[in-house]
Structure 1
Amino acid sequence: MVAEGPDDLKLELTEGRSVDWGPLKETARKAQILPPLLTRPGKVYDVTTPALPTVA
């Protein structure tokens, strides 16, 4: 895990992938969203805004 600050958390995964987690608020919702999101092809999985997760 890398943290630029308390509201900028990033998880480093295998194979060059990462998760932009953002602030700790809404952690339970982010944790629900992440597993299905990781099934999609991509390198960066962004759950900073759980209502609008993205894959790039």
Structure 2
Amino acid sequence: MVFFGWNIGKIFSSDFTTKPVGKGTGLGLASVKTMVDAYSGDIQVESKRGKGTVFVVSIPTTKP
């Protein structure tokens, strides 16, 4: 799935989905973001039309 400018800022929202109404819960990336935040981590996303989407998750090995 490629995310474009109109929805890239919404992808970590608990109600965001790319599926039709009534399909899917929209909790996938919101759950990931919650877990990454719990470990003082960071998640970045880069999406390019025709190329795809890359997520980079960083979690520190020691507490900040």
- Shorter-chain TM band: 0.3 to 0.5
The structure having more radius of gyration, on CA atoms, is 2
Please, what TM-score do these two structures have when normalized by structure 1?
A: 0.34
Please, what TM-score do these two structures have when normalized by structure 2?
A: 0.32
The higher relative CO (CA closer than 8 Å, separation ≥ 6) is in 2
Larger strand percent: 1
